[in-house]
Structure 1
Amino acid sequence: MHALDRLEARLAQERALVVAFSGGADSALLAVAAHRVLGERALAVTAVSPSLPDRERRAAAAFARRHGVPHVEVRTDEAERPEYVANGADRCAHCKSALLDALAPLAALSGGAVALGTNLDDLGDHRPGQQAAAARGAIAPFVDAGLSKADVRAISAELGLETADKPAAACLASRVAYGEPVTPELLARIEAAEDALHDLGFGVCRVRVHGGGAVARIELPTDAFDAAHERRADIAAAVHAAGFTFCALDLDGFASGRMNVLLGMPAVQR
């Protein structure tokens, strides 16, 4: 059976769905596919908090409008939870708990389930949030349908979704070294620095933070190093303007989940 057919067959088993929709490639496909199958019984919901970049919030809303997907936003309170702020190895579990606390009432009203865009490739990462979500009854249709990240991108391209080749965009809290507090002020500084890098032409980038918020370690694809060298003064000025004392370029390049090396785990190159 074709991958899209498998996905739609899985979605058809649900009475209604509330899709956790960040606007990334995974959740965008899930929102569109759920709407194709369930119509108005599928609702895309974006969780708004200091960890969501405003550019991603705007992009998610614009995507939903373009594709006619019913969409709302909810506020989540993870930034007010001490366990999340402490930024231990289980930070994502506390974030997912806050997400499910916000989405569960909407799912209850519709008589449906909360659906996450987890795919098969995600199962090998350090993602304690997956266990927290599953414990609260959230479902993962991509996993149930046997879809990998490559499948998600292929189906998205087949459907003409502009997110088919969108780079991964993890939450801003993933930029903070484990054990260092996650605060709205620090997340705002990270967002400002990454926005500046985007404006300078570096569409794929991460500003990772160490040293109590003093050190900004920039990750770029290695093929962007020459451009970064040419614009090093502009990059440094932008990072300092965002409130960082030190600005460093990571010579290992960009990799998703780089902070996981602090937990003795490999990063994930995507």
Structure 2
Amino acid sequence: MIEYLSGIKGRVGIAFSGGADSTYLLRIAKDACRGRVVPFLLVSPFLSERERTWAHRVADEIGITFRELHWQPFDFHCIWGNGKDRCYYCKYVMYSKLWSVCREYGISNLLDGTQLDDIGSDRPGLKAIRELSVKIPLVYCNLNKNNIRILSYKLCLPTWDRRSQSCLATRVAEGTFITQNLLEKIENAEELLRDFNIRNAKLRVDANRTHLEILEEERFYVEGRWPEIKGHLQDIGFHYLYLGIKV
């Protein structure tokens, strides 16, 4: 990994999220590309405030400063319309904007934290990454999620055991329009669930109903407090609620 990164010529931009993969990539690139690394956090209504704060904390621990790049997905019907290619268009718009900023900074390389396990999964955004010539070093170096967690643990990175955190837009079922108001309600609801010490729950929302998706180990606790939890979620605006187990 160090050998690959140190062989990259010129300045290096990294799409950083604070997740396990991009954090490991950034940490290694910091050593391999000394003084040439410029990380960016892509900020939009799709990014929760909790995840934004976490990214700053992680960067502080690594000892590197990143730049925030703000963009607006609601300017693009192909994104907020939430069709089957929404993830592709979202990634394409984000990385096109990021490339434009990179060129302004004289950055000739853009890196992403995609890892080997992502290649075999349903990730429409990978098509955009390839089309825009974004480099994916973790894949080139044959690193999967388990490898990254082990290596991150050895480096004492705070992300070594952190669960993957998808953007807020992934909570909304395909075909249901994504709105600012809906994302705010989802974010507020998931913060409420954390107040109940339910830390791995996610809402899954479509036009007619909402599923609360939890882990099997949280089931007994959630079912015991379901009337109270359901009442709070209904106060936020989710009226047709169903409880489901993540498999």
TM-score band (shorter)? over 0.9
Q: How many residues align?
A: 245
Separation (CA, whole Å) in 2 of partners of 1:107 and 1:131: 20
- The answer (yes or no) to whether the contact 1:206–1:220 under 8 Å persists in 2 is yes
Q: Report the TM-score when normalising by structure 2.
A: 0.95
Look up the equivalent residue of 2:83 and give its one-letter code: G
- 1:228 and 2:222 are equivalent in the alignment: yes
After superposition, where does 1:87-102 map in structure 2 within 5 Å? 87-102=82-97
Q: Distance in 1 between matches of 2:187 and 2:7?
A: 39
Query: Are the aligned partners of 2:21 and 2:148 in contact in 1 as well (CA < 8 Å)?
Result: yes
Q: Which moved more, 1:45-54 or 1:98-107?
A: 98-107
> Are the equivalent residues in 1 in contact too, given 2:230–2:241 (CA < 8 A)?
yes
Q: Distance in 2 between matches of 1:234 and 1:144?
A: 48
Q: Which runs of 5+ in 1 are unaligned?
A: 1-6, 256-270
1:132 and 2:128 correspond: yes
- Matching of residue 118 in structure 1 with residue 114 in structure 2: yes
Q: 2:145 matched to 1:155?
A: no
Any runs of at least 4 consecutive aligned residues in structure 1 with deviations exceeding 3 A, and if so which? Answer: none
Preserved contact between residue 45 and residue 72 of structure 2 (Cα < 8 Å): no
Structure 1 SS opposite 2:102? helix
For residues 106 and 68 of structure 1, the distance between their equivalents in structure 2, rounded to whole angstroms, comes to: 23
Alignment of 1:1-20 (within 5 A): 7-14=1-8, 15-20=10-15
1:77 aligns to 2:72 (yes or no): yes
What secondary structure is seen at the aligned counterpart in 2 of 1:114? strand
CA contact (8 A) 1:43 1:69 kept: no
Give distance in 2, aligned partners of 1:239 and 1:17.
44
Q: CA deviation at 1:206?
A: 0.9
Bigger drift between 80-89 and 70-79 goes to 70-79
Is 1:206–1:254's contact at 8 Å kept on the other side of the alignment?
no
Counterpart position of 1:254: 246
State the Cα distance separating 1:145 from its structure 2 match: 0.5
* 1:32-71 equivalences in 2 (<5 Å): 32-71=27-66
Note the C-alpha offset of 1:224: 0.6
Structure 2: runs of 5 or more not aligned: none
Alignment pair present for 1:188 and 2:184: yes
Quote how far apart the aligned CAs of 1:110 are. Answer: 3.1
Looking at structure 2, the residues matched to 39 and 135 of structure 1 have their Cα atoms a distance apart, in angstroms, of: 28
Q: CA deviation at 1:219?
A: 0.8
State the Cα deviation string for residues 46-70 of structure 1 (Å, max 9, x = none). Answer: 1111110100000101111121112
**Cα deviation, residue 33, structure 1:** 1.3
User: TM-score, normalized by length of structure 1?
Assistant: 0.87
Measured after TM superposition, the shift of residue 21 of structure 1 is 1.0
| 2-structure distance, mates of 1:134, 1:242 | 40
